Structure 1
Amino acid sequence: MTSKYSIVTADLTVKALQDSGYKSTAHAIAELIDNGIEAEADLVELFVVESTERPSQWARHRVEKIGVLDNGKGMDDELLRNSLRFGVGTRQNRKGIGRFGVGLPNSSISQCNRVDVWSWTNGPDNAYHTYLDLGELRNGRAEVPKPEKEKLPDEWQEISEGLGETGTFVLWTQLERVQWRGSKATLDNTESLIGRLYRRLITQGIQIRLVPMRGSEVLLGARDARPNDPLYLMAPSSTPPPFNQKPMFRPYGGGNTGEIGVEKFMVKGVDGNDYPVLIRSSISTESARRPDIAGEEWPKEVSPSLQPGSTPWGKHAAKNLGISLMRADRELDVDTRWTNSYDPVERWWGIEIDFPPQLDEVFGVTNNKQSATIFSSLATFDWEEEADGMSYEEFRDTLRAEGDHRLPLIEIVYHIREKLISKLQSDLKDQTRGTGASRKRHEKVATKADEAVRRRKEEAPPSYTDTLGAQTSVEESKQQQYESLVNTHKYSPADAERIIEETWSNDRRVQLLTSRNPDSSAFFNVEYIPRLLQVALNMDHPVYDDLIAVLDQDLDGATREELAERLESAASAFKLLLMSWARFEDEQPEKPRKRAWQMRQDWGRIASEFLRADDEEDD
């Protein structure tokens, strides 16, 4: 019994064990799957059993039991008893998935008031059985009950498809904290996580069978968990068609391992030895985001006008947003702190950090294997702020001289932020330039500008492009535009031809497009093509990111708060733009300043005419 003067009461101990930090029921179930895999099982079966009765006509059947059965090597009575002790465990090592010795009791108590375990090494009829019951713990039970010989109940033997001569069965009852009602909802939500955590092991031959039940009856929908790869390089996978049978992404970057998209860093563990950390990266294929890629058929049931993020596979990718942390071929977490969740483009790249258990202390792996706290804390690390004016190389040398234990991880973070994410984001913007919602908005603006240009032609002398047009054939003008789009602005030949066709079929006099021009300080550039004034927004200028891109982002799925934040950001950028012009005038000598003043007046007058076209259309 608990002493009258115990520092910690039994109730408080039980409450602390229940609040052990599992993110979800699926994460707690994963601990049981870990145990099976560590026991060399090649089949793990997950049974989710809902009640046969409902509280009322309108209520859903509620989950009342969860069982996990594996065909691993099983445990004798001594190992079985120790497996339910906190902090003891049976496989505390530095090689496999496990290590911490708390998975079975911790995960179980986080979800239920009673856990029963059967394990056998000589057939399920010769199993040993023991249990933990929170009611008994509250009443002062201090030891795990001695295992007794007790055959695995017939009901579980009959429904298992992989029952072996050795194995273990864990059964949760008196469920308290299961998140979802019904076996289907529980398995659907669990499958996504299980498929992601064990994606590599599944492709290596581990089978994880998901079985919905009502009472003793197996319901429709039993299946094997499919890989869910946030890098979208695996096939087959759980990604919606057509990317369930082919990769949706491709490896990204050169790497230093001889494998495309894989970079290796050597990191010293607490034992003084160096261990490899592999950084894998991937980027969406164009066919996942565009319906007009030659040779890549867009699914007939998915509208080609749909925003890529709104496609079934785009929604799937949104759930895998972040950097995947892999330890011993098993994922710990997908860390979203490295991404901007407001930007739908973020879902179209993947990064995976793969490290061995020998680096657990360096990365800060938690005892429930759900995160790497030290590494994740560096998601918001700003080396420039800490460097206090030093270059990165100087800062790195300073940390090395000081023996800063964070240095290996900081170097990995620098590579991810400076060499990967920024480049991925840039390349993804280029991938869909001139398509989707931004293309339609550009076309709408260009149409209104055309109206203003035609009106100006009636009131003003011929412009430079008008004069060039009178001296040049249409074919020559098209060729000049094609060379500009392909050579200067780096559009694909197919996109260039589409833009040219739209320009001339609509008899357009103004064309708006986006371009990469990191060497230019201008935030837009003007090209004088015969009969066409071509305006290119410089995507490498801060004005584009802070003003244009903020407003051109997809609206699908955006909350009111996100939209308000975008508008506030764009308004601030526009005001700063005006202030920068004012400062430009202020810095000029007297004559250029007067000329700048006159240019501002003239530009304002023409701007009012262009914007008037917008007002007239609204009327």
Structure 2
Amino acid sequence: MTNGGSNYRIVSPSLTVKAMRDSGYKSTAYALAELIDNSIDAKATLVEVFACERPVQGSSRMSHRVETIAVLDNGTGMDGEALRRALKFGDGRGDDRQRIGRFGMGLPNSSMSQCTKLEVWSWTNGPGNAMYTYLDLAEINDGLDDVPPPKPEPLPEYWRDISEGLRDTGTLVVWSNLDRVNWHGAAATLRNTAELIGRVYRRYLTTDEVVIRMAPVRDGKVIEGAYYAKPNDPLYLTESSGTPAPFGDKPMFEPFNMGNEDESGVAHFPIIVEGKRHVITVRASIARPEARRPDIEGHPWPDNASPNQDAGNHPWGKHAGRNIGISLIRQGRELELDSSWAIGYDPVERWWGVEVEFPAALDEVFGVTNNKQSATTFTSLAHFKDKWRAEAETGESTKAFKDRLADLGDPRVELIDLALYLEIKLLPAIRRQLKQRSLGRTGKKRYDDVNTKATDAVKRRTEDGHTGKTDDLAEGATVEDKRHEQLDALTQRHHLDEDTAQSLIEEALEKDWRVRWISSYQDSHAFFSIDLMAGMLQVIFNEKHPLHAHLMTVLEEVPEDASTDELRHRLARAADTFKLLLFSWARMEDEIPGDRQREKIADARQDWGRYARDFIDGEDDGE
């Protein structure tokens, strides 16, 4: 207890602890992660998470509610001095950056964010020789300044009976008087914890460096349903994981080509901070075709998964929907899954994964918070390509802007190149490939209708004697010739993956389609181009042209939950874009310098109008 004369104390213990209780842990699972950090730092190979419930009589029925949460490990344990320091807010144990936790806040801060009483037993020579101490919010409010001195107290039999892995060394942390736990029953508490725990510690779980047991307890016994946390890899490259079938024992994604031949799906970014070189590692992945499509040979969906339902609505797709964003890895442990880099309304965002790993020496550069739940500087750089223009001075280049930020000591400057790489190069490339892989799936019935209608128009014109180069090339071409030519065009020129290309080709051959529409990045000012192949007229809309974003994206990439007002806005925007398109043609004709050349352009416009009438209305003009 503090002696008198404390009216002018700079910090009030009770108010400090109250502020720390409100320090912003996102959930009980994140608070528990702080305890698991300590266990791993203590070289534990088994960590047991217990949720102990008691019966509660409601107005109409008996239910159960969690009254105690505990974490028990078989790590090295602590002596009395280390134990007492561990319950001190901000002790820090020195600046040891080899540890997962280094701020000295994790144990007391996370614990008091969920409960009003924290108890700890730790032993280095058998659980019968444990040392015990505690923190009680009521005592702190009454003026307690010091952590109570640890005293010898054997580990209670209650915990010995339900543990699977007691050793001669270890630590038990118990939370009681829970007043901020998010869930009620033991099973629900652990279920809502396990997925995040599996993601945060996926590296450790995958290598079996640590095992995390999730155990619901009722009446002093572990009830049926205890299990071990499985890795939850947001890159979905792990062989064995908690991903629902059919991807629990095989990767659902594959590495995304980032130009590194030695390490597929990996790029390294060295940065110099205060004269020292550090390396940031970026990993990227993209969904395998079979994750999104049921028609990939050799990779069928489960029998109970409807092939007509979007993959995002199946269990594995919903699982991916909970793992959207860029995963930040610090010291082998996930710090945060930062969703601010994703396009929030787009369900396709679930089908990519990006991981940014950095050493603890870059904590200040990334803006790591003391509860290890976020990296504020990195998050602030999401969508930076738009933000910097708003902050830049008139006429200021990107380099000049960065130099000015460096002069001002802006903490973002070290990560700007990384942010621009992610936003301008990597993520757009991944999204383009995902769009290509979704060809033939999104709005499939609508595409079938337009392909059929256009094919009918082509056949009708051919029968009327209006042949084209695709008709001439088809003369004498075998089915294999057509298949090979189309596969080469789709994979080599337009960069579709082979499975998607093969699927498109087989569908076209089966239905005798003579046309195909795809989108692809083209190094051209034209907003579309054409491939003339044997029996196939392929139209390629140039995704690089702004018309794609202002017309095709507006009309075709409509969110499933779009409101009526948003739909009206999209239609109006598309109508305006179409008018601007025609105005651009009109101005082109207007600027033609010679009358004869202008007449040729006008004739082309007339011809296109006749063809458009034939394709849209199905009428030939009798030419």
Normalization by structure 1: what TM-score?
Answer: 0.87
> CA 1:324–1:498 in structure 2 vs 1: closer, same or farther (change >3 Å)?
closer
Pair 1:189 & 2:195 matched: no
> CA 1:495–1:72 in structure 2 vs 1: closer, same or farther (change >3 Å)?
closer
Deviations 1:502-533 (A, max 9, x none): 4465455x634204251233333456668765
8 Å contact from structure 2 (residues 516, 536) kept in 1: no
Aligned to 2:334: 331
- Which stretch has the larger CA shift, 540-549 or 185-194? 540-549
- Which stretch has the larger CA shift, 384-393 or 337-346? 384-393
1:222 to 218, 226, 243: 226
Pair 1:160 & 2:160 matched: no
Pair 1:245 & 2:249 matched: yes
2:68 to 50, 65, 68: 65
Q: Secondary structure at the match of 2:382?
A: helix
Over the matched positions of the two proteins, sequence identity in percent amounts to 46
1:294 to 271, 279, 297: 297
1:366 to 361, 364, 369: 369
1:28 to 27, 31, 47: 31
* Alignment of structure 1 residues 56-455 onto 2, 5 Å: 56-58=59-61, 60-90=63-93, 92-204=95-207, 205-254=209-258, 258-269=262-273, 272-382=275-385, 385=389, 386=392, 389=395, 406-433=412-439, 435-449=440-454
Amino acid at match of 2:561: T
Q: CA deviation at 1:105?
A: 0.8
- Which stretch has the larger CA shift, 7-16 or 591-600? 591-600
Deviations 1:460-485 (A, max 9, x none): x65444x9759964856995586256
Tell me the distance in 2 between the aligned counterparts of 1:360 and 1:469: 64
Q: CA deviation at 1:179?
A: 0.7
Q: Secondary structure at the match of 1:52?
A: strand
Q: Secondary structure at the match of 1:164?
A: coil
Q: CA deviation at 1:212?
A: 0.8
> CA 1:139–1:575 in structure 2 vs 1: closer, same or farther (change >3 Å)?
same
> Once superposed, what is the RMSD of the aligned Cα atoms?
3.5
8 Å contact from structure 1 (residues 344, 554) kept in 2: no
The alignment covers a number of residue pairs equal to 605
Pair 1:523 & 2:524 matched: no
- Which stretch has the larger CA shift, 28-37 or 292-301? 292-301
Q: CA deviation at 1:282?
A: 1.8
> CA 1:364–1:531 in structure 2 vs 1: closer, same or farther (change >3 Å)?
closer
Q: Secondary structure at the match of 1:62?
A: strand
8 Å contact from structure 2 (residues 470, 536) kept in 1: no
8 Å contact from structure 2 (residues 461, 467) kept in 1: no
Amino acid at match of 2:580: M
> CA 1:537–1:135 in structure 2 vs 1: closer, same or farther (change >3 Å)?
same
Aligned to 1:48: 51
Q: Secondary structure at the match of 1:181?
A: coil
Amino acid at match of 1:101: G
Amino acid at match of 1:177: R
Amino acid at match of 1:228: N
Q: CA deviation at 1:107?
A: 0.5
Aligned to 1:616: none
- Which stretch has the larger CA shift, 125-134 or 512-521? 512-521
Amino acid at match of 1:368: N
Deviations 1:342-401 (A, max 9, x none): 222222222111111111111111000111111221113227623865665676677678
Normalization by structure 2: what TM-score?
Answer: 0.86
Amino acid at match of 2:577: L
Deviations 1:168-197 (A, max 9, x none): 111111111111121111111111111111
> CA 1:94–1:472 in structure 2 vs 1: closer, same or farther (change >3 Å)?
closer
> CA 1:400–1:175 in structure 2 vs 1: closer, same or farther (change >3 Å)?
closer
8 Å contact from structure 2 (residues 238, 251) kept in 1: yes
Tell me the distance in 2 between the aligned counterparts of 1:112 and 1:543: 56
Deviations 1:207-257 (A, max 9, x none): 111101123121111111111111112221111122221222222235669
Amino acid at match of 2:148: P
Unaligned runs of 5+ in 2: 619-623
Aligned to 1:576: 577
Tell me the distance in 1 between the aligned counterparts of 2:473 and 2:400: 59
Amino acid at match of 1:584: W
> CA 1:492–1:87 in structure 2 vs 1: closer, same or farther (change >3 Å)?
closer
Q: Secondary structure at the match of 1:53?
A: strand
8 Å contact from structure 1 (residues 290, 308) kept in 2: yes
8 Å contact from structure 2 (residues 383, 423) kept in 1: no
- Which stretch has the larger CA shift, 82-91 or 180-189? 82-91
Amino acid at match of 1:442: Y
Q: CA deviation at 1:402?
A: 8.0
> CA 1:395–1:479 in structure 2 vs 1: closer, same or farther (change >3 Å)?
farther
Aligned to 2:19: 16
Q: Secondary structure at the match of 1:294?
A: coil
Q: Secondary structure at the match of 2:442?
A: helix
2:488 to 466, 486, 489: 486
Tell me the distance in 1 between the aligned counterparts of 2:446 and 2:605: 26
Tell me the distance in 2 between the aligned counterparts of 1:17 and 1:492: 51
Q: CA deviation at 1:429?
A: 1.8
8 Å contact from structure 1 (residues 113, 134) kept in 2: yes
8 Å contact from structure 2 (residues 284, 355) kept in 1: yes
> CA 1:165–1:17 in structure 2 vs 1: closer, same or farther (change >3 Å)?
same
8 Å contact from structure 2 (residues 286, 430) kept in 1: yes
Tell me the distance in 1 between the aligned counterparts of 2:241 and 2:473: 58
Tell me the distance in 2 between the aligned counterparts of 1:10 and 1:362: 31
Q: CA deviation at 1:286?
A: 2.2
Deviations 1:106-132 (A, max 9, x none): 101101111111111121111121111
Q: Secondary structure at the match of 1:410?
A: helix
> CA 1:601–1:472 in structure 2 vs 1: closer, same or farther (change >3 Å)?
closer
Tell me the distance in 2 between the aligned counterparts of 1:127 and 1:279: 44
Tell me the distance in 2 between the aligned counterparts of 1:89 and 1:66: 25
Tell me the distance in 2 between the aligned counterparts of 1:595 and 1:257: 51
8 Å contact from structure 2 (residues 289, 500) kept in 1: no
Aligned to 2:621: none
Tell me the distance in 2 between the aligned counterparts of 1:598 and 1:473: 30
Q: CA deviation at 1:199?
A: 0.9
Deviations 1:303-342 (A, max 9, x none): 2333232232221111111111111111110111111122
